[in-house]
Structures are given as structure tokens and as C-alpha cells.
Amino acid sequence: MELAIALPSSSSLRISAVSIRPEAAPYCSRNAPQQFRLPAYKVAELGALKSSHLLSSSNGFILSPIALSSTTSTTKHRRRFSIWACSEVGTAGSSDPFLSKVSQFKDAFWRFLRPHTIRGTALGSVSLVARALIENPNLIRWSLLLKALSGLLALICGNGYIVGINQIYDIGIDKVNKPYLPIAAGDLSVKSAWFLVLFLAVAGVLIVGLNFGPFISALYCLGLFLGTIYSVPPFRMKRYPVVAFLIIATVRGFLLNYGVYYATRAALGLPFEWSSPVAFITTFVTLFALVIAITKDLPDVEGDRKFQISTLATKLGVRNIAFLGSALLLINYVGAVLAAIYLPQAFKGGLMIPVHVVLALSLVFQAWLLERANYTKEAILAFYRFIWNLFYSEYIIFPFI
């Protein structure tokens, strides 16, 4: 396995036989311009590095510059991971310290927003808007583009608020489970995080209130409220598995799909009415959101047990939850195939059936790989990322089915 460390002002250098997870990047050593910090749990093998090349640190290992020249023979299977090695920019006079701080904040803010959740929100909203426009092509107007973009921005703000408030109240847990997140890693202060989540919430409410009327505003505020009680004491509903699943399914499943479709039809001057495809995607994604709610705890079992957070993964075990999540998704795919068969007037069976069969078989294969890997943390993370990719795929194909 090969690790490429990209320096700000030089070509990439390589360290062989050091294994880290890709989502760990970037980590910086603020006090040593020519040292590069990797969290201890990220380093899987250190056989190629001499002990003198590793300086201990409270947050992990520090790779000294001499370690950058260490090499070993190539392994049979090689995969490159990138990590941004941040030096104290400005100490050598090579760049503006202010621009460096802006760049570091931008990176921390982006990680704070949890990009994989933003992708799901953005794809979902674009897909529902596209479906409403496909159903009413004669009503499409360019003036609607700005309104659609404002709605997407509001959804991203709401998404950022929910995942941000969760990080603020989960610092201790994240230091065990997700030390690459900006607050847990020390790249973003709690004070700054509070400013960001409050700004995102206010901005989102204002955008929706000024553009989409009282009903959509009420749905939007309901979503923020559910996201708040999920993480914030004394409610902290994430402690109760069933309630936590229902909250995630409601926000990401029903509210997102129903709200976006309703708002789009209202912008077109049409009353709301369910169509078979929209009813399908809402049901499909609601069940999918339940699966995400279940499987999201799989990589976090260690931290959840340490902080006595009760989840199905801690109660039933990783293997059982992985099988449960896979079974629920297979039910989804079987339902999609049956819908195409029994409602040929609403769905394009020639596309819908083979695509969902392929996705179902891919899921079975990934579950088999997880079993074969004996449920290591790396395999669990790969499985969880694959589930998100399935989630994205459904929204990508939805406008065309």
C-alpha cells in the first residue's frame, strides 16, 4: 500500500507500507513546519519506517522529514491514498499567512459539513425537481432556476446545521470514532462551530421563508427541530435506536422528497398531487434512510460502547446489523422490480428492472466481501460507503425511470 504526501510547494513524495484510511486527510502539525502528523490508529503497518523516524505525539505519530525517503519493495496490491501535509505556511516566507489560515478554515468547514451527506441532499433535490419538470415540460421557465438554486442552498444549510450540531455534542465520541472530523481533530473550535451552525440555521430559514411560503417553511423548521433533538441534551434521541431511526428516515426520507416535490409544483403554479414515481422514490428512500440510520453505527461501535451510547450495533453486533441492513435494501430492490412489472404505465421496466437487479447483486457481493474480511473496521467503512453510493445511484436514475 502506498501513501502519497503532497507538499504545498514540491512534487509528491512517497512512503511505502504505511496504511491509513483516505478520510483521515488532512492532518497538520502546526508546530513543526517539516513534520507530518498521522493519528496513531491510522497507521496500520510501520515495518518500513525506523523507530527514529517516528516522534510520539498526543494525537498520533509524527513522521520526521527523514522518513519521507523510506522505501520498501512494492506489494502485490497497491492503492494510493493522499493526505495533505500542512506545514506552518509563512515560516519560510513562501506564501501569505492570512491566505493559509483562510485555506485551513475552508478545509475544516468543508469537513464540518460532512460532504457525503451533502451529496445525498443535493442529488435528492435535483432529482425531485427534474422529475417535476419532466412531468410538466410546458411549464419550464428559466426564471425558476434561481429559485431552485436558492432551495438547494437552503437544504445544504439545513444539512450543515444538523450534522454540525451533532459534532458539537459528540466531541468525545468523535475523538474515538471519527478523529478526522474538524472539532475532534482540533482544527475547528467549539465557539467557531457554534457560530457556523447558528449561521446555517438562520440562513436556511430566511431563504425558505422568503422564497417558498409558510407551509414549506414549517416543514423546513420541523426538519431542523428533529435534527436538534437527535443530538442535543436533554433530548438526545440518538440514545434510543428506534427513535433515532425514525428521525433520520423522516428527515432524509419523507421531508426531503415530499418538501422538494411540493415546492417545485408550487413554483410551477400547480397544486400538489402524488405521482406513482414520486410515491415510489419517497417510500424507497425512507426505507433506505432507515438502513443508513442502522448501518451508520457500524464503524462507531468502539466509541459508542466507551461512552455507553446504546445502538443496535452495540446490542446485536456488527454482523447481525450488516445482514439486517442488507436484507432491508434487498426488499427495496425487490419492491422496485415488482413496481415496474405491475405498473408498466408509470415506470419504464426496460430500465428500472435491470438497473435494480444489478444494484441488488452488487449489494450481495459487497455483503459477501464484508463477511470474508471478518468485519474489520476497514471493511465495515468500505461497506458503509458502498451503501451511500447505492443511495446516490437511486437518485441519479430516478428521473429516467
For each of the chain's 401 residues, which pLDDT tens digit applies? 334 343 343 333 333 333 343 344 433 433 333 334 444 334 333 333 333 334 333 334 334 333 333 333 333 443 433 343 433 334 344 467 888 888 999 999 999 999 989 999 999 999 999 998 888 888 888 878 889 999 999 999 999 999 999 999 999 888 887 888 999 999 999 999 999 999 999 999 999 999 999 999 999 999 999 999 999 999 999 888 789 889 988 998 899 999 999 999 998 889 888 889 999 999 999 999 889 888 877 777 766 677 666 676 777 788 898 999 999 999 999 999 999 999 999 999 999 999 999 999 999 999 999 999 998 888 988 999 999 999 999 999 999 98
0.85 exceeded by the pTM?
Answer: no
C-alpha cell at 155: 437544504
Where does 112-273 sit in CATH, by number?
1.10.357.140
Reduced 3-state DSSP string for 123-163:
HHHHHHHHHHHHHCHHHCCCCHHHHHHHHHHHHHHHHHHHH
Architecture of domain 276-400: Up-down Bundle (1.20)
Where in the chain are all domains bearing CATH 1.10.357.140? 112-273
Where does 237-348 have alpha helices with state H? 241-248, 256-267, 276-295, 301-306, 312-316, 318-342
Where in the chain are all domains bearing CATH 1.20.120? 276-400
- C-alpha distance from residue 333 to each of 35, 152, 280 (Å): 49, 28, 11
CB 82, CB 6: distance < 8 Å: yes
